[in-house]
Amino acid sequence: MADSWEALEAECLRCNGCALCEKRQHVVFGDGARDAEILLVGEGPGQREDEQGVPFVGPAGQLLDDMLEIIHLDRTKVYVANIVKCRPPGNRDPLNVEQDACMGFLRRQTALLRPKMIVCLGRIAAKAIIKEDFRITAEHGQWFERRGVHMTAIYHPSALLRDLSKRPETFSDLKSIQAKIREVCSHTTV
Ligand code: URA
């Protein structure tokens, strides 16, 4: 039977595929336009996301909104999801076993969305989506293409909150994303 957003979300909300389900307040399935041409992927929910069930609503999310605004993009035009849908305790990196247990949901979200572009937010998402040995310091802002989908990674907004020196490079990466949107997207205007 064909997959649907409703069936996928319902399955995700009752998932107990790894130990992260034990301490969660909410599953953070994903948010945004289900016909978006652009998929943004973070690593996993933080405290505020766990409380609200929505990705990128805490301090990193505020910065993400500001970053998108630089290129005239907002949340209504993109879809936002994470590699893992439940909060890792103390905001630690999600373990490989947790990522493996959860990746099927992101794969199915991607299959339903059929994005033209995937922007990985940070190292964890870039390693899971672009390539296992992705080096965020050396390879952020570079473009990769797989089965017609254009992919790139930028520094995670949390890293940009901690380290202001990374912001100029991120500005260039955002301008490159804007140019790529103009090149490959048909109904996303920036
Ligand atoms: N960091 C992430 O990677 N994802 C969120 O949803 C929030 C913070």
Q: Could you tell me the distance, in angstroms and rounded to a whole number, from the CA of residue 46 to the centre of ligand 1?
A: 6
Rounded Cα distance between 55 and 83, Å, is 11
Q: Is 29 in the pocket of ligand 1 (CB under 6 A)?
A: no
Contacts of 95 (CB under 8 A, 6+ apart): 88
Q: What is the largest CA-CA distance in the chain?
A: 49
Per-residue pLDDT of the chain (190 residues; tens, 9 = 90+): 789 999 999 999 999 999 999 999 999 999 999 999 999 999 999 999 999 999 999 999 999 999 999 999 999 999 999 999 999 999 899 999 999 999 999 999 999 999 999 999 999 999 999 999 999 999 999 999 999 999 999 999 999 999 999 999 999 999 999 999 999 999 999 9
Of 149, 132, 152, the C-alpha closest to 141 is 152
**What is the number of the ligand 1 atom nearest to the C-alpha of 60?**
8
Q: Could you tell me the distance, in angstroms and rounded to a whole number, from the CA of residue 128 to the centre of ligand 1?
A: 15
Do 177 and 115 contact (CB within 8 A), yes or no?
no
Q: Whose CA is nearest to atom 7 of ligand 1?
A: 56
Buried residues in 35-55 as b, exposed as e (16+ CB within 10 A)? ebbbbbbbbbbbebbbeebbb
CATH class, range 5-182:
alpha beta
Distance of CA 84 to the CA centre of its chain: 10
Per-residue confidence (pLDDT) for residue 2, from 0 to 100: 82
Has this prediction a pTM greater than 0.85? yes
Rounded Cα distance between 158 and 85, Å, is 18
What phi and psi, each to the nearest 5 degrees, are found at residue 108? -70, -35
DSSP H helical segments within the chain, as ranges? 5-13, 47-52, 59-70, 96-113, 123-129, 136-139, 157-162, 167-184
Record the tokens describing residue 99, joined without a space. Answer: 């990522």
Q: Could you tell me the distance, in angstroms and rounded to a whole number, from the CA of residue 133 to the centre of ligand 1?
A: 21
Q: Could you tell me the distance, in angstroms and rounded to a whole number, from the CA of residue 61 to the centre of ligand 1?
A: 7
CB atoms near residue 77 (< 10 Å):
19
Per-residue confidence (pLDDT) for residue 51, from 0 to 100: 98
Do 28 and 49 contact (CB within 8 A), yes or no?
yes
Q: Could you tell me the distance, in angstroms and rounded to a whole number, from the CA of residue 99 to the centre of ligand 1?
A: 14
Q: Is 30 in the pocket of ligand 1 (CB under 6 A)?
A: no
> How is the chain split into domains, by residue range?
5-182
Per-residue confidence (pLDDT) for residue 184, from 0 to 100: 97
